[in-house]
A and B are shown apart, each in its own frame.
Chain A
Amino acid sequence: MTDDPQPEKRSTRRALLITGVGAAGVLAGAAGTKVVDARTHPGAATAPADATLPPSEDLMREHGVLKRVLLIYRAMDDQIAAGHRPPADALADAAKLIHDFIEGFHEGLEEAYVFPRLQAAGRHVDTVRTLLTQHAAGRRITQRVLQSATTAKLRSAAARQATRRDLASFVRMYEPHEAREDTVIFPTFRAITPAAQFVRLGEQFANMEADRFGTNSFTDMVTTVAQIERSLGIDNLADFTPAG
């Protein structure tokens, strides 16, 4: 299996992304919105607050939420390994966010709008099959984690160990999974999707997310994750800086 990031197109795409909205910015510009080149107008490089994200950036931003939940899962894994009981509410909240938002929505976007394009273009076909298999595996794990996320069940040492295995498996699988999507799948998706369609997809992704989860869905999601992090004492970013 080979990954083909098409380096010859990188410089152009980077220049577009610097404007804040990439292809969306260019096409929105054609429709009337002013497009600026950050290289010649560095002071005007900020996208409007209501700019629609390109679909790949939207998906990568959602991966950021996933990464933070993986950190939460790892902290709970550590708690169980140290002989402690993870807080059932925090575990349930984290798993529910994965279930509803990542597995029920984000992965659905990939399966509906990203993977079929790559398959049709014959690009990364084997990688896509592996990603689909991992989506299925993750959903099974999440279903078990949700079932185990009660105070009563977590009293059992055996149940805690089973949950620990599930959390560790989930983290181990999703770290390379999302990294591969960010570095290989989404760039290819962007490269093979006509610019006008790419812009419309960004709008559709935003509309679907707003309809399903509300207009402040992403902010709400980040707030939820931050609250879980706080409950586990892993909310201070500076704590992750190595001493010395």
Chain B
Amino acid sequence: MRRSPAIAVVAALLVTATACGNGQNEAPSGDSSTAQHPRSSASASPVIRTVTVPGLGRVLANNEGFVLYMFPPDKQAKVTCTGPCAGTWPPALVPAGANPRAAGGVRTALLGTVAQPGSDARVITYNRWPLYTYVADLKPRTALGQALDLNGGYWYVLRSSGEIVRTAASPAGR
């Protein structure tokens, strides 16, 4: 079986730190029986940049080029997607005490962090929106999760201005 370098890196980053014992919006408990999705593993100094997605234009992405989404139920205040939801939408994490860095037109002033329920790590925010990747975006610069209604709301990408993009991606971006 072929094992891609990306998967190998992801596998190496796998941590068994979080658990959600009580429902989708319940705080993880730190139980080692639960695997946190590797995409959400906290990088020591994550970089937020932009990538171009067909049909959407330039939108926020993590350092690997995976598109970042916001979730309206978070209300620019807190992380509401945990447990199984966080398996589908792994949060963009940063270790406690570290800060994300901006690149490629991303505004440092709009970057921040918010508590990750039940964890010492923090979730990166932009214009106060917690940021997530979509587990089914297997390649950078794709946005299969754009304008998807799932887990209690629609998911959208963001521009570096902080604008929420509500249009669907073109087939090339999906």
Contacts and interface: CB of A to CB of B under 8 A. Distances in A.
Interface of A: 1-2, 99, 103-105, 107-113, 115-117, 119-122, 124-126, 129, 132-133, 135-136, 139-140, 143, 146, 196-198, 200-201, 203-204, 207-208, 210-212
Given A119-B7, A122-B11, A204 B84 contact: no
Contacts, number: 131
28 contacts: A1-B1, A99-B149, A104-B151, A105-B24, A111-B135, A112-B35, A112-B84, A113-B35, A115-B87, A116-B38, A116-B87, A119-B10, A119-B11, A119-B14, A125-B1, A125-B4, A133-B136, A136-B136, A136-B145, A139-B148, A140-B174, A207-B22, A208-B21, A208-B24, A208-B26, A211-B23, A211-B26, A212-B23
Given A122-B11, A208-B26, A197 B151 contact: no
Given A126-B2, A204-B31, A208-B83, A120 B136 contact: no
Question: Binding site of A, secondary structure by majority: helix, strand, loop or mixed?
Answer: helix
A161 B35 CA distance: 42
Contacts of B134: 136
Closest 10 CB pairs of A and B: A112-B87, A108-B84, A211-B23, A136-B136, A111-B87, A200-B33, A197-B33, A120-B14, A116-B35, A120-B11
A108 B14 contact: no
A58 B14 CA distance: 24
B70 interface: no
B62 interface: no
A12 to B, nearest CB: 21
Nearest to A205: B84
Contacts of B33: 196-198, 200-201, 204
A1 B31 CA distance: 33
Contacts of B87: 108-113, 115-116
B44 interface: no
B98 interface: no
Contacts of A204: 19-21, 31, 33-34
Contact of B148 (A107, A140, A207): A140
Interface of B: 1-4, 7-8, 10-11, 14, 19-24, 26, 31-38, 83-88, 134-136, 138, 144-145, 148-152, 174
Contacts of A109: 84, 87
Contacts of A117: 14, 35
Contact of B3 (A125, A197, A200): A125
B140 to A, nearest CB: 14
Given A119-B14, A136-B136, A208 B88 contact: no
B91 to A, nearest CB: 12
Contact of A120 (B22, B38, B84): B38
Contacts of B34: 112-113, 201, 204
Contacts of B135: 111, 115, 132, 135
Given A115-B135, A200-B31, 7 more contacts: A111-B87, A119-B10, A122-B3, A126-B1, A135-B136, A136-B134, A204-B33
A145 B86 CA distance: 25
Contacts of A125: 1-4, 7
Contacts of B85: 104, 108
Given A104-B151, A200-B31, A116 B86 contact: no
